[in-house]
Amino acid sequence: MAIATPRAIVLDAPDPVALAGFYAQIIGGEVISGEEDGWVDLEGAEGTRLSFQAAPGLVPPEWPSADKSQQLHLDFTVADLDDAERELLRIGAVALDTDAPGRDFRVYRDPAGHPFCLCVD
């Protein structure tokens, strides 16, 4: 028997509203901002909720790096890597590792510096 169920995946961000808006463009949902408490939820998207908390002094991880590791990253499933990549770059993602031929995933950085992957099943 499980002890708990996932409530949210929470990312630190210097601007949680902006980062929630970035991810809303990727997975859908509505950005719900709290009353100046630095907490923002992305609601209505399928799957576990993404939330964002204010971290004005955030130092983004470096990818790849053993010294400044990423701690965790998000994976998103897409139908076509090339189409999805064009849209990601348009909304502000940065390509980190995208040029390996024949590989079924690519690595990007969100506007706050968190690494994430697009994957094809």
Residue 4: its pLDDT value, please?
57
Q: Are residues 64 and 50 in the same domain?
A: no
Q: Are residues 68 and 98 in the same domain?
A: yes
Per-residue pLDDT tens, the chain, 121 aa: give them.
Answer: 766 577 889 999 999 999 999 999 999 999 998 767 889 999 988 888 899 999 888 888 887 777 766 677 788 999 999 999 999 999 999 999 998 888 899 999 999 999 899 999 8
By three-state DSSP, how is residue 7 classified? coil
24, 42, 57 - which closes a domain? 57
Q: Are residues 67 and 44 in the same domain?
A: no
Residue 46: its pLDDT value, please?
84
Q: Are residues 48 and 66 in the same domain?
A: no
CATH number at residue 106: 3.10.180.10
- Tell me, letter by letter, the H, E, C secondary structure of 5-50: CCCEEEEEECCHHHHHHHHHHHHCCEEEECCCCCEEEEECCCCCEE
Residue 27: its pLDDT value, please?
94
What's the alpha-carbon Rg for the chain, to the nearest Å? 15
Which residues form the domain of 73?
Answer: 59-121
Q: Are residues 38 and 65 in the same domain?
A: no
Instruction: Specify whether the CB–CB gap between 54 and 13 falls below 8 A.
Output: yes
CA distance 13 to 111: 9
Q: Are residues 34 and 82 in the same domain?
A: no
Show the tokens assigned to 22. 């970035």
Residue 90: its pLDDT value, please?
96
Residue 8: its pLDDT value, please?
87
N- to C-terminal Cα separation, the chain: 29
